[in-house]
Amino acid sequence: MVRFLYNILIPLLIPGALIRLWFRGRAEPAYRHHLAERFGHLPSNLGAGADIWLHAVSAGESIAAAPLIEALLARGHTLVLSTTTPTGRAQLMRQFSGRAVICYGPFDVPRCIKRFLNQVRPKLALMIETEIWPNWTTACASRGIPVALLNGRLSERSFSGYQKLGSMMRATLRQFSWIAVQSTAHANRFTALGATADQLSVTGSIKADQTLPADFIEQVAMIQAKCAHRPLLLAASTHPGEEEILLASFKALKVAHPDLLMVLVPRHVQRAIALQTLSAELGLVSCRATLDRVAEDTDVIIVDVMGQLLYWYGASSVAFVGGSLVPHGGHNFLEAALCGCAIVTGPWVFNFEAQAEQFQRAEALTLVADEHALSAAFETLLVDPVIRQQQIERAQQLVDESRGALDQLLTGLSPWLPDRAGVPR
């Protein structure tokens, strides 16, 4: 009954979804592009289909999946990479354009997913993190296409929402050939929703297997030179509602640290102009990273292009990881640790709670409860190089200890990975 109602409701929601995409396109025009792909009409460069379909909902998941995608391409597999957001599409295009077909994933409507699968004809479907769509899995199962959920995670909020789907969620999960999750806590939630023990494996986070780009040192040096080697306080992947807090905290810090520069990297770079306005309202001089030079009186640099966050992490000594001063759930801070930043985060980290607990136990990050604690944390890390370096080293040790998820995923997928001729082995 739940699935019956779901399949009645979902098509009725499509007009509303299109209207929402159109309105979001006022601020971010890319939301209005490639709408046909969301109905399962794929790009003309698809050719004869692909061995593997991999779906990552947005930019963060696309970055997390990058080591796996690289490994699959190196083995000669052909891939269709789908996503849901323009930032996800831009991230995939930046890394894999010309090496894989990149598109938006279809709506979870039987007709749309049927059209999509008729064109892709994958031998294996890989979903990243929390992409659990009933009609996608059912359509794949009906065609004998194995489906795996990789780097899986399930926050308490998502778990509560999925619980309401009851038997439909249980049936959907049991259509997965394999569910590889980041931690035991996530595995327990999947079990409670109906996944079986033989489906589940705890493999850790694949993001720990990320490597730094070949031009990392060169790009970091260029950034530091552009900023006249002033100390940088980075605010990464920020959201509306927390930039005001961060800028106010920074303004207070400037009294004791007049050379300090704040670098704002909004989660959605299209907000750069709005952040310049906000900075001006607070009496701060800002510039955009791609358009303006960093003048002597510049207080704030706003990064207005995607794909640069790793380099800014490398150029900064202290980084706040956003989405955590507002109830968004936080963002993955393994990249900050990998690049050698002291990490500060707010209290809202439910998307990465196991990781946050691990880092807190090891004293490898500073978790603050409010804006007052935020300013104190910044001050401590800026003025005490010993404390800062100890935290950085603990975080990097945790990253090193967490490596190996990629090898586990490739080994676990081996029963279903097609060979180069497309024959499962």
Whether 325 and 348 have beta carbons less than 8 Å apart is answered as yes
Torsion of CA 385, 386, 392, 395, to 10 degrees: -150
Question: Which residues does 311 contact at the CB level (< 8 Å), separation at least 6?
Answer: 216, 219, 220, 223
Cα–Cα distance for residue pair 301/195, rounded to 1 Å? 46
> Tell me, what amino acid is at 366?
T
> Tell me, what amino acid is at 339?
C
Q: Is 61 a catalytic residue?
A: yes
Question: Which residues does 49 contact at the CB level (< 8 Å), separation at least 6?
Answer: 78, 80, 119, 120, 121, 122
- What are the E-state strand segments in 62-196? 79-83, 101-104, 124-128, 147-152, 178-181
Q: Which of the following is catalytic: 61, 242, 243, 335?
A: 61
Cα–Cα distance for residue pair 228/309, rounded to 1 Å? 19
Which residues participate in catalysis according to the annotation?
61
